[in-house]
Amino acid sequence: MLIATAGHIDHGKSTLVRALTGVETDRLPEERKRGISIDLGFAHWSPGKGEILGFVDVPGHERFVKNMLAGVVAADFAMLVVAADDGIMPQTVEHVQILDLLGIGAGVVALTKCDKVPASRVQEIRRAVEALLAGTALAGSPFFAVSAATGEGIADLAATLREAARQEPKRKAAGQNFRLAVDRVFSVPGSGTVVTGTAAAGELATGDRLVLSPGGQAVRVRSLQRASHAVDRVVAGDRCALNLSGIGTEDAGRGDWLVVPAMHAPTSHIAARLKILPDKPALRHNAEIHVHLGTADIGARVLMRGQSALAPGSEAMVVLALADETSACVGDRLIIRDHAGQHTLGGGHVVDPFARRRQKKQLRDAVWAAIRPGRPLETLNALLAVEDHAVIPEIFERMFNLDAATAAEIYRQADARILGRSRKQVLRDQDVTAMGQQLEDCLETHHRDHPTEAGLPPRQLEAALPGSIVGDVRQAIVRMLIDERRIETIGTMLRRPGHLVAGNDEATHAWQKLLQVAHDRQGPAFTSGEIAELMGIEEKDAISLIMRRRGSGEVRRITDDRFMLGARLAAYAQLGLELSAQSGPMGFSAAQYRDAIGTGRGLAIQILEFFDRIGVTTRNGELRLIRDEYERILRQTANLERGMSPQVYLQKTRKGRR
């Protein structure tokens, strides 16, 4: 359990921590010289086997509230310190407000310096503090009258803290990725860069790799310490030190996050539920403020939604436009202070870490209303019910900091699945079924209204799906229907199984037979002689059939003597497009393409050279990339063949053109 002190300057916070732990938390020379805390101090106490209580001692001076915020944000428990001689002072009030805004509801109140005042004064201060805490998360906290000088009350306070640590539920480590807000960075001779902080989620082991966010530097964990002891593993809630390779002390600082690579997603616009303190002035639209999130202090502007100001004591959704990028998740607590950084104005929690993605107001409001901090399954179900909203798995998992296994289980419980390859979406099973039926119905209608046409081009059929469905997912739904044999390809077209182009002439039936034989035979490419033999006709008749249907895209001539179904070529182009995405900007080799499509090297090269001739590929020496618009190119080049004479169509191919 991590315990944060709170209270006014010179009320004895550091002295009390020293009395409890034996550790002097004022580490800076200036702190010891002036006798006040300037920055965060840390100590730990091990009252029994396996028990560790961490203390973060925060400064009480008004000038150092930003340092106080960097320490208290990670705390599980608060120890409010009020000197019995001084009583409630300005930073006592401000610190209580901050603890309440951060939602820290577990704590104790230590009335210090009780040896200097009569018992009646202690009771007077107790009543005043009880009144201050009324209506806050700390209302009802136990009080302890203590004196570090005489030892009065210290044992009782220590026993209560120990019992609170035993009762404190462990932060959830399973199901979430590791993340830690950095509060200190220093160098150790012979070891290198060390960062410290409190693990906000997940678990970490020596040897693991992380990313320093928002900078993006990759690091490796050389060693770990918890409570000044070397350990192999730390979990959520642990106060720890990480010895890192990959960065120097100049690369990291307070306010940075250490996250797993999948969680590195810096953001500059955060949607937050914000509450303004009742004793502070109204917060106006576009006001400049300081946002304290994690251990960071970031300048920002407040963007209101449909109102010009947020009145004292009220709360509302706002967008915080940050001057610097940071890392954030749903539910992260934050505090806002005025532009000068002198007064705490309010606080709240993150609702949407990626608010810049939300453009349309109506859709944006529906999405934000669906987000429930700490409840990813409920949020997913609500988001999937928002009309015209696409749930991107990568974004959803980052919002809630979900590891892969937990995310998969949440999708399963929501009866949802991920579709798409390079661009993915989460869809409910019932919606996928409905969209599949929608495409089948669209084809049936087209066949009925246009009986002389073979079918619909893929893009035209996919256009029947909702606009929120991205192209990759549309293609995935079509592929699903093809795999389930609910629709089938015919050249570059899609049709319902069994659909025949209207007409009873012998040539139409012969062509349908040729397509079926080409589809059923072993091997994707064929010669006119091979197809003629399978059909039981003369080769010249097979050539004649292909010639009459040139331009339909149903059969394409890829070499001087080899043909292939247009649908297969389109599928091979799609596989090449996916390979392009994996290969990077330079492209893929012929051998990689051969492995991707599962053919021999010779045929793979013939297909690639055909793609080269018609412009489906771009070349980089011996490497290639498939163009995103390959479907349009296949259709256009097929249409060009329609006007070719037999002599031109059947002329020998030359590299670079047909």
Each residue of 497-516: pLDDT tens digit? 877 776 656 777 888 888 88
466-470 long-range contacts, CB within 8 A, separation 24+: 466/388, 466/435, 467/388, 468/388, 468/389, 468/390, 469/390, 469/425, 469/435, 470/390, 470/420, 470/423, 470/425
Across 155-164, 345-354, 522-531, the highest mean pLDDT is recorded for: 345-354
Q: What's the token pair of residue 317?
A: 């959704």
SS3 231: strand
Say what the pLDDT of residue 33 is. Answer: 46
CATH homologous superfamily of 2-167 equals: P-loop containing nucleotide triphosphate hydrolases (3.40.50.300)
Cβ–Cβ < 8 Å for 327, 267: yes
| Structure-token match 């010179």, residue found | 10
Say what the pLDDT of residue 419 is. Answer: 94
Query: Cα separation of 189 and 170, whole Å?
Result: 34
Query: Cα separation of 125 and 84, whole Å?
Result: 6
Q: What's the token pair of residue 223?
A: 């060693």
Lowest mean pLDDT, pick from 59-63, 261-265, 561-565: 59-63
Lowest mean pLDDT, pick from 60-74, 264-278, 337-351: 60-74
- Choose among 341, 263, 332: nearest CA to 73: 332
* pLDDT classification of 61: cutoffs 50, 70, 90: low
DSSP labels for 118-140?
A: -HHHHHHHHHHHHHHHTTSTTTT
Q: What is the mean pLDDT of residues 377-387?
A: 93
CATH number of 267-357: 2.40.30.10
* pLDDT classification of 167: cutoffs 50, 70, 90: confident
Say what the pLDDT of residue 405 is. Answer: 94
Say what the pLDDT of residue 434 is. Answer: 94
* Residue with more model confidence, 270 or 388: 270
SS3 labels along 330-353? CCCEEEEEECCCCCEEEEEEEEEC
Query: Helix, strand, coil: what percent of the chain each, to 5?
Result: 35, 25, 35
Report angle CA 613, 615, 618 to the nearest 5 degrees: 105
Each residue of 608-657: pLDDT tens digit? 999 999 999 999 999 999 998 898 899 888 888 776 766 677 776 654 44
- Choose among 129, 149, 184: nearest CA to 7: 129
Q: Could you tell me the fold of the domain covering 179-263?
A: Elongation Factor Tu (Ef-tu); domain 3 (2.40.30)
pTM over 0.75: yes
Q: What is the mean pLDDT of residues 54-71?
A: 76
Say what the pLDDT of residue 408 is. Answer: 95
Q: Do domains 431-495 and 506-649 have the same CATH topology?
A: yes
Q: What is the mean pLDDT of residues 457-470?
A: 90
Say what the pLDDT of residue 173 is. Answer: 54
Lowest mean pLDDT, pick from 97-106, 139-148, 516-525: 516-525
Domain boundaries, the chain: 2-167, 179-263, 267-357, 361-414, 431-495, 506-649
Let me know if domain 506-649 sits in CATH 3.40.720.10.
Answer: no
Query: Cα separation of 491 and 351, whole Å?
Result: 49
Predicted confidence (pLDDT) at residue 28 exceeds the cutoff of 70: no
Each residue of 210-219: pLDDT tens digit? 999 999 999 9
Say what the pLDDT of residue 488 is. Answer: 86
Predicted confidence (pLDDT) at residue 9 exceeds the cutoff of 90: no
* pLDDT classification of 658: cutoffs 50, 70, 90: very low
| Radius of gyration for the alpha carbons in the chain, expressed in angstroms and rounded | 34
Sign of the four-CA dihedral 562, 563, 569, 575: negative
Say what the pLDDT of residue 452 is. Answer: 74
Say what the pLDDT of residue 31 is. Answer: 39
With pLDDT > 70 as the criterion, what percentage of the chain qualifies? Answer: 92
Each residue of 32-44: pLDDT tens digit? 444 444 456 778 7
Say what the pLDDT of residue 60 is. Answer: 60
What's the number of CA atoms in the CB half-sphere (13 Å) around residue 650? 11
Say what the pLDDT of residue 141 is. Answer: 94
SS3 94: helix
Class of domain 431-495: mainly alpha
- Torsion over CA of 100, 101, 105 and 108, rounded to 10 degrees? -40
* Residue with more model confidence, 70 or 408: 408
DSSP state of 357: G
Each residue of 175-184: pLDDT tens digit? 899 999 999 9
